[in-house]
Amino acid sequence: MVEVGGTRGRIEKRSAILEAAADVFAAEGFALASVDDIAAAAGVAKATVYSHFGDKEGLLRAVLTVEADRAAESNLAAIERLLHVEGDVDDALRDVGRRLVDCFCDPKAQALRRLVTGELARYPDLADLLFGRTPQRVHQALADRLLALSVQGRLVVDDPLTAAEHFGSLLTGSIDARSRLGSRRLPDAELDAIVESGVRVFLRAYGATPAAGR
Amino acid sequence: MVEVGGTRGRIEKRSAILEAAADVFAAEGFALASVDDIAAAAGVAKATVYSHFGDKEGLLRAVLTVEADRAAESNLAAIERLLHVEGDVDDALRDVGRRLVDCFCDPKAQALRRLVTGELARYPDLADLLFGRTPQRVHQALADRLLALSVQGRLVVDDPLTAAEHFGSLLTGSIDARSRLGSRRLPDAELDAIVESGVRVFLRAYGATPAAGR
DNA sequence: GGTCTACTAGACTCATGAGTCTGTTTTAGC
DNA sequence: GCTAAAACAGACTCATGAGTCTAGTAGACC
């Protein structure tokens, strides 16, 4: 590993630790992951971890914050594609839907959700940390896009926030069960089918032409 | 507590332990829950716990099995109501939907899901134990009912399993986020609204009269 | 009354891992 | 080259909790 010392390297150590901690937490869960393991994985002394993050809980929070932001970015990037819809709305929705499903199935994102869920009993505020960062922003952004499409007459959406929830639910609702909470990788074709049927239902409910999608 | 000795009482001890373990696991999470606490809560000596369940993991599996079956029963009972639909289909769907949402929001059910999620890293097969018991049976039962309603001409369902997934997703998809994974109790009115809008979307997609629900 | 099984209280072993401390080494900035 | 901040390896303390063991008690059945 590259040796970096002094003040300059501090920030690099920090992100190396965050990276390693995310991996170890994801693989082992919070309780089972030892700080020694994380330090070793980051190529760093244990004391360095403590000097950066105070304690294990602080490290967890830092990891969750970083990963939640990262997840939010990729989700928002997917939704961005609804800003200028050129062809059919349903093509656009399928495209965006597939991207959102991919974000949802991303191993890191799934590990993140598992982490928070598992430690909720010990640290109840983690849910706010996570949900305040990712789903809320994503939800709002999607609602904005759907409303805009409705104004353009390409969808009929009276309550954008609810419609956004429905879109997301139809796409991701069955994935946790099918993938056994992420412990099984779902084949591409299956994800495509989920998106396909989910978008079809969404369009029957919110499409501008009542008979959309046959 | 009632003192029961001899062979007769053994089964009662067993269920007392399961009951207490479910509570303690739900409240503390698996890692944080100590067997001493569980034994104390059950009014039983620690050795008795070990004589019944071997080790802590065995206890966890037993608890999950019992609770998953219990959850499946209440879900199936709700779906049963679609066997003979007298009035409007949408009234029936709202009724069943609300019951399913209540099952989903039941604190024990939520704790169960949290438990499995949190320990998935350590015991990956727990997901199969849980999902093989509850959602799969519920999913199939719901699909059966939807198909029957379709045969009666009261719905238009080509793929019952997918339709059942959509129904479930529309009802429960937003609840984890809104309730912060169960750490906030959602008011009744909010749950009603979720059911109302979810059923409306479902009927627009699968209703026999295309313009159903306005 | 004797025996067997299940239970009890509580002491005990032992592994694990969080967090601290020590003394040394590296590197940036001057 | 000197200084000070930061990181290093690794030993150390300490709390916790799983699982075991012992010695004694209570009811069931004959």
Q: Give tens-digit pLDDT for B110-125.
A: 999 999 999 998 899 9
Q: Flag whether B211 is in a domain.
A: no
Residues of B in contact with A68 (CB under 8 A): none
The answer to whether residues A47 and A72 belong to one domain is no
Q: Flag whether B21 is in a domain.
A: yes
The answer to whether residues A45 and A77 belong to one domain is no
Which residues make Cβ contacts (< 8 Å) with residue B108, sequence separation at least 6? B22, B26, B67, B70, B71
For B151-203, how does the pLDDT look when each residue is reduced to its tens digit (9 = 90+)? 999 999 999 999 999 999 999 999 999 999 998 999 999 999 999 999 999 99
Confidence of residue B9 (pLDDT cuts 50, 70, 90): low
First to last CA, chain B: 58
Q: Rounded CA gap, B7 and B50, in Å? A: 17
- Choose, out of A157, A174, A206, the residue to mutate when testing the contact with B (most B CBs < 10 Å): A174
Q: Flag whether B42 is in a domain.
A: yes
Q: What angle do CA A126, B30, A17 make, to 5 degrees?
A: 50
Q: pTM of the entire structure?
A: 0.90
Confidence of residue B8 (pLDDT cuts 50, 70, 90): low
Which residues make Cβ contacts (< 8 Å) with residue B194, sequence separation at least 6? B101, B171, B174, B175
| Domain around B47 | 1-54
Angle between helices B35-42 and B10-28 (to 10 degrees): 130
Q: Do A134 and A72 meet the contact criterion of CB atoms below 8 Å apart?
A: yes
Q: Flag whether B164 is in a domain.
A: yes
The answer to whether residues B1 and B72 belong to one domain is no
The answer to whether residues A102 and A37 belong to one domain is no
- Which residues of A lie inside 8 Å of B (Cβ-Cβ)? 27-29, 31-32, 113-114, 116-122, 124, 127-128, 131, 135, 139, 159, 162, 165-166, 168-170, 172-174, 177, 180-183, 197-198, 200-202, 204-206, 210-211
Bases in strand C with any atom closer than 7 Å to a protein CB: 5-11, 16-22, 26-29
Q: In this complex, do A210 and B211 lie within 8 Å of one another by their Cβ atoms?
A: yes
Q: Flag whether B104 is in a domain.
A: yes
The answer to whether residues B129 and B173 belong to one domain is yes
Q: Flag whether B214 is in a domain.
A: no
- CATH number of the structural domain spanning residue A30: 1.10.10.60
- CATH number of the structural domain spanning residue B118: 1.10.357.10
Q: Flag whether A129 is in a domain.
A: yes
Total Cβ atoms within 10 A of residue A91:
12
The answer to whether residues B90 and B142 belong to one domain is yes
- Choose, out of A120, A137, A195, A200, the residue to mutate when testing the contact with B (most B CBs < 10 Å): A120
The answer to whether residues B23 and B129 belong to one domain is no
Bases in strand D with any atom closer than 7 Å to a protein CB: 4-11, 16-22, 26-29
